[in-house]
Amino acid sequence: MYRLLFALVISRIPAETVHHLTLRALRAIQAVPGAAPLLRRLFAPRDPSLAVRALGLDFPSPLGLAAGFDKDAVAYEALGAFGFGHVEIGTVTGRPQPGNPRPRLFRLAPDRAVINRMGFNNEGSEAAAHRLRARALGRTVVGVNIGKTKIVPEAEAAADYVASTERLAPHADYLVVNVSSPNTPGLRNLQAVEHLRPLLTAVREAADRSTPGRRVPLLVKIAPDLADDDIDAVADLAVDLGLDGIIATNTTIARDALLSPPALVKETGGLSGGPLKDRSLDVLRRLRARTGDRLVLISVGGVETADDVWERVRAGATLVQAYTGMIYGGPFWAHRVNRALSRRLRESAFRTLPEARR
């Protein structure tokens, strides 16, 4: 039914308009007393064999919503009620910013992909922190993804990240440093180890100052376009600094073998969805081989089905995230994937998902 609705109606509406309408509906659900808990009883994962213990947190399912959808922390509870085991809000920047000019979000339906050049449009870390202060702990696991404000010079990036960390760490279940979006000029330069080391060190110290008595898990999100040697270098740095994990991967600037019309393929921005699947899986396997069990690896990129989640877990992912899969799968997509994943696990030789990790 959703596929028919998508083909006849949704695909004819600009992608960003659909995004805002969906967020508005989810925000309304979250605001109505009792609505999110009711949906949670209907759609949230309940199979105990899917439960994952990671980052000192309990996840009811390995499948989470990647950053980019709920940028301003307005609908995380409703999203969790629809079946996501965790929701990563953001990317949030130190200062509010409008992002890039529209249009900036494009569907590539033949490839089941999306190109975005949103540019970290968000209301800033103070606004997000204000919303997260009111959240009910113990319901949806909420990660907070932070990035650099566009107008902040690269030399002052660490201070910008620190400002967001000090505001948001007290309200985050885990914190992610995003240095891998292709839509903020110069941001990916921060993935170089000589820049990344002082940045991550400053964020770790700020998080510890801001949360006395609690250590907030810290992860870094990397691009799929890094060379293999650079992936190894970031992995070694994460282990050396005592980071809790790596999220792999963000969107790609590559445009290989796409089926969509050339006019769409030529749009600038980060490509997500099906075409990213193979590279994201390759990066995951490389990180797993390099780090073993020393880091939590969260795999994202081209995840559409329960088999995709299963493949990532078998390749070493502790958790898996998706976003584009929901765009093409509809509001009940996470619930369907969790049900299919339960069946996949029952048909395997393993009793729980952690046992299935190599």
Residues with catalytic roles: 181
What φ, ψ does residue 245 adopt, rounded to 5°?
Answer: 180, 180
Long-range contacts of 53-60 (CB under 8 A, 24+ apart): 53/354, 54/296, 54/318, 54/319, 55/173, 55/174, 55/217, 55/244, 55/245, 55/296, 56/215, 56/217, 57/86, 57/141, 57/173, 57/174, 57/217, 58/141, 59/85, 59/86, 59/141, 59/319, 60/85
What distance in Å separates the CA atoms of residue 98 and residue 122, rounded to the nearest whole number? 7
What distance in Å separates the CA atoms of residue 48 and residue 141, rounded to the nearest whole number? 16
User: Are the C-beta atoms of residues 223 and 191 closer than 8 Å to each other?
Assistant: yes
What distance in Å separates the CA atoms of residue 26 and residue 74, rounded to the nearest whole number? 8
